[in-house]
Structures are given as structure tokens and as C-alpha cells.
A = this chain, B = another copy of it.
Amino acid sequence: MNVSRPAALALVLGAALVPALALPAGKGPAPADPLPSWNDGPVKKGLLDFVTRATKKGGPDYVPPEERVATFDNDGTLWPEKPLPEAVFVAKRLKVLVRKHPSLLLREPIKAVLRGGVTHLRELGEQVVVDLLVTSHSGMTQEEFEADARAFFKGSRHPTLRRPYTELAYRPMVELLELLRANGFQTWMCTGGSVDFVRAISVPMYGIPPQQVIGTSLRKEPRLVGGRTVLWRLPTLLSYNNKGNKPVNIDLHVGRRPLFAAGNVRSAGDVEMLSYCQGRKGPSFQLVINHDDGEREFSYRERDDATLSAARKHGWTVVSMKRDWKVIFRPRGE
């Protein structure tokens, strides 16, 4: 259930009290800053103003709680995507597969990936990556896959940041998720990554329950194994949750347009989701993360600048990680 305690209490006491409880939520005499990892400036102010307006009962931009849906991309929006954690997992799974079926080692592109590593994977192009994901994530039960994903997150670290992937949530974005939930928003993930991979960490990293994760999915079928019904993962793509499929899958899972959507600059994968959010009747908010901080994270651009062009054209809010974020990750040992 996606209800933080303040939000649940607010449900009981009446929606009118939500903003008073949550924004600002003072612990002492001075109201606490709900976004302490964000630097002051127009982006932070825009976010706080939007939440205040959407929750101000009787105000012109008031949105009832059931319509407060927020959707977040994951790779590059909530955690780093250089490399994609799931690409590392795919490469690991391929190694396991090759041990079982050595003849696979002779097959391209598996051969290339196992020789060239994860960096090479991306150069092979999107379609090949999706194909390899399908190959490496199928041929087992759903429960076996979930155990594998959990084991991966326990044992793996980012190659250059040298921390477990589970410690690499962007802290400003975690604060934003918490602020939205405290104000009655449902927070959803809408990721190009595979739904079952991300569900393994969505609660501890982001407070997003599995039923609010939308992602790339495989076909499955029920099978009876030892008298028990299990779901078998088939080597067929059901939906690659990217670009135009994002609004389609949001509609399938949520059944309404988001009030708030967040994506990032890299491959224009979030443009359709952001446009769909903006097409909502009434107020809405679109956030785009721009990776311009090579010192603390990574600095990269999109080949044709499609996301930033769309942001300029449609008035979406662009986050400069360098300018807008006081810290990027949770300090070590905290």
C-alpha cells in the first residue's frame, strides 16, 4: 500500500489537512525543508509550488487525491545508467547460461558480449540488448528469476562508483518521492528496465511497492510443477516499456493520466510519457533530469537533443544535476 503515515493520517483527518501536515512539516519551531538535498532556485521552488497548489483545497489548481498520480522513469532518473545495472545483470546471466549450454558461446551477439563486456553491449544497439534481456531472463520460473535478481543486488557493486547499486538512488529524487507521497500522491515507476528486476529493489530504494512498478515484460504461462502452479518465463517479449509504450502501459496499469512525470536526457525514451502527462486536463508537471555533472556522477548528452528540445518547446522543468542538487547520493555509511 502506497500510503506513508502522514498521508494515511491525513486521509483520516480529512484531505484539507494534508498540506499543513506535510509541507512544511516542522519538527522544531522552524519549518523543516522537505527537499534538503536540492539547492534553492527556480527548479526547487517550482516543485514546492506545484505540490502546494495541487493540494490546496478550494484553490484553482486543486487536484483530488485519487488523481495525484506521479510516474518516474528509473535508469538515469532515479539511479545512474552508466552502466545500466540491468545490463550488468544480463551479462552475468549470460555467463550462467553459457556454463549450462557451452554451444551458446559460439553464437553472436552472446560471444561479443562475453568478450567485450557490458560497455560493448550498448554499442550493439537497442534491439540486440532487448533480445539478450529476453534470452537471459527466460527459461525459468518467476520465483527462480526473483531469487536471482535479489542475489544480484546483494553481490554487485557499481564498477567506478564502487558502491552497491542499492546505495545509488539519487537522494534528491528520493526526497521528492517522499514529498509527493506525504501529499497524497501515488508514486509509480515506469521504467525501460524489466519489471521483475526493478521490483526486487523498488521498496527499499524508493518506497515504491511492486504493484506500482511498470516495466519491460516477458510473456509467461502457468505450469504445474509438483502439483503447484508456477509461472514459467517464456523467451518472448510482451512489452518493451520505452517511448510510445510508456503512456500505453501507464494507461494499462494506472488507468489515468499522470499529474506528475519525471524522465531524463539520454535516448528520448521519456518524451512520450512527459507529453502524455502534459495532455492531462488541468494542471500537470513534467521534470527532466539532465546529466551535466561529470565530477559527482556522469556527464552525457543525447545524440539529437530531442528531450531538451521538447522540454524547451513545451515548458518542461529541466534539472541540472550540477546546479540543482546539493548532494547526489546518500553519504557513505549513513
Contacts and interface: CB of A to CB of B under 8 A. Distances in A.
A255 interface: yes
A142 interface: yes
A228 B221 CA distance: 37
Interface stretch (A6-14, A32-40, A121-129): A6-14
A229 B208 CA distance: 27
Interface residues of A, number: 46
B65 A220 contact: no
A248 interface: yes
Interface stretch (A43-51, A96-104, A167-175, A209-217): A209-217
Contact of A210 (B11, B184, B256): B256
A208 B171 CA distance: 33
A211 B255 contact: yes
A247 interface: yes
A117 interface: no
A2 B251 CA distance: 18
A194 B291 CA distance: 41
A130 B50 CA distance: 43
Contacts of A199: 255
Interface of A: 1-3, 5, 8-9, 11-12, 65-66, 142, 184, 186, 195-196, 199, 203, 209-213, 217, 219-222, 228-231, 238, 244, 247-248, 251-256, 272, 275-276, 278-279
